[in-house]
Amino acid sequence: MRVLVVTNLTPDERTPNRGNYVRDQVAALRRLGAEVDLLSFPIGKRQYARAVGRIRHALRERHFDLVHAHYGLAGWCARLAGASPLIVTFHGTDVRHRTVGRLSRRLARSLDLTAGASRALFAPEGGRPGLPHSPGMTAVLPCGADLERFQPIPRAEARERVGVSADSRFLLFPAAPFRPEKRFDRVEGLAHRCGAEVIHGGNIEGEQMPEWINAANAVIVTSDNEGFGLVAVEALACDVAVLSTPVGVAPTLLRGLRGCHVGAFDAAAWAEVLEPHLAAADSRVEGRARARWFAAEPLAERVLTAYSELLGE
């Protein structure tokens, strides 16, 4: 099976982690035996016409059994280039954004398979509609965590690697602070209440993220919405505590896990959960077994099953 994966979730200087989960899924698909070509292009209005031309050229140069696009606007580029059959995985902002969301829902009605990174994307959230659901033409196809890369490291060692003081109290906010839906303002207030500092993930290189997660006392997700929320899985793979609003996969992932918390943001309640993690030298949770639910390989197998069913194999 030969697949062309198309995405505009391409890293740049401002967001070096953008789209790592797509590249991790491509790597997992290749390990499972699929022949996958990756066509990645930058975000930006001026890039879309060029991307259509690049995709069209790729389709002329080589036969692909199907095209799998990640993110709605990349899906539109693949559709305009004549890709067929076409699967698009929607990841969150492309569904909830006021303008792009309308385009994504319109595209979803014409696809061979509409995939969401989580079931939540097929339902309304935050006053915004979800993706249309057509039986037999929709699927939930998350990108999983690379559990080989995300493993527990002693906190003192992780802090030495990233240059953080051994006795500091710090929270990792895994997103870029300029994205309004991530609600950096909430974590700033929480850190002030707890006497902790916040380090955001906007400028952290992907290769360093496992060290930063292990160095943190806890990972904090305060988003209004998430398509999936992979960083919570990555943190649990490191046995690091996660506190999250009930977005994306967090309600399933965190519920009942001692030392973690999922619920509406409440600074006082969250601070109470955090204090034991902030006070201990290397407080951990038993999260790795839970993270295996959403590891890269089993979720890539799910994607291969969707490919095979679409092609009638």
Residue 150 lies in a domain: no
Residues 119 and 221 in one domain: no
Read off the pLDDT of each residue in 37-46 and give the average, rounded to a whole number: 92
Percent of the chain with pLDDT over 70: 99
**Please, is 143 exposed, middle or buried when counting C-beta atoms within 10 Å of its C-beta (0-12, 13-18, 19+)?**
buried
* Whether residue 188 is found in the same domain as residue 286: yes
Inter-residue contact 127 to 102 (CB < 8 Å): no
149 lies in some domain: no
Residue span of the structural domain in which 72 resides: 2-144+295-310
Query: Quick check: is 95 in a domain?
Result: yes
Interval 186-211: pLDDT, tens: 999 999 999 999 989 877 777 889 99
Q: How many residues does the chain have?
A: 313
Q: Is residue 213 part of a domain?
A: yes
My answer on whether 96 and 138 are in the same domain is yes
For residue 120, give the nearest of 134, 131, 135, 111 by alpha carbon: 131
141-152 residue pLDDT tens: 999 999 999 999
Angle at 38 between CA 36 and CA 42, to 5 degrees: 165
pLDDT of residue 43: 87
Residues 283, 159 within the same domain: yes
Same-domain status, 169 and 214: yes
pLDDT of residue 134: 78
> Residues 22, 32: one domain?
yes
pLDDT tens column, 68-96: 999 999 999 999 999 999 999 999 889 98
Residue 93, C-beta contacts closer than 8 angstroms, at least 6 positions apart:
100, 181, 227
Residue 19 lies in a domain: yes
168 and 212, same domain (yes or no): yes
* Distance separating the N- and C-terminal Cα atoms of the chain: 10
Residues 169 and 300 in one domain: no
Say which CATH number the domain at 222 has: 3.40.50.2000
Residue among 179, 233, 180, 234 nearest 206 (CA): 234
Does some domain include residue 60? yes
Residue 306 confidence (pLDDT): 96
Confidence of residue 124 (pLDDT cuts 50, 70, 90): confident
Instruction: Look over the chain and give the mean of its residue pLDDT values, rounded to a whole number.
Output: 92
Statement to judge: residues 124 and 248 lie in one domain: no
CA distances from 188 to 175, 184, 291 (A): 13, 6, 27
* 123 shares a domain with 10: yes
Residue 226 lies in a domain: yes
> Are 170 and 299 contained in the same domain?
no
Shared domain check, 73 and 112: yes
**Within a domain: residue 89?**
yes
pLDDT band at 232 (very low <50, low <70, confident <90, very high): very high
* Domain total of the chain: 2
Encode pLDDT of 259-269 as tens digits.
Answer: 999 999 999 99
pLDDT confidence of 229, banded at 50, 70, 90? Answer: confident
What gap in Å lies between CA 188 and CA 199, rounded to an integer?
A: 10
Distance (Å, whole) CA 3 – CA 224: 34
pLDDT at 47: 92
Which segments of the chain does DSSP mark as H helices, in order? 20-31, 47-61, 72-80, 93-96, 100-108, 155-162, 184-194, 209-215, 230-237, 250-254, 267-279, 288-291, 296-310
β-strand partners of 172: 199, 219
pLDDT of residue 261: 97
Averaged pLDDT for residues 230-245: 96
Any idea what the Cα angle at residue 299 is, between residues 296 and 302, rounded to 5°?
Answer: 150
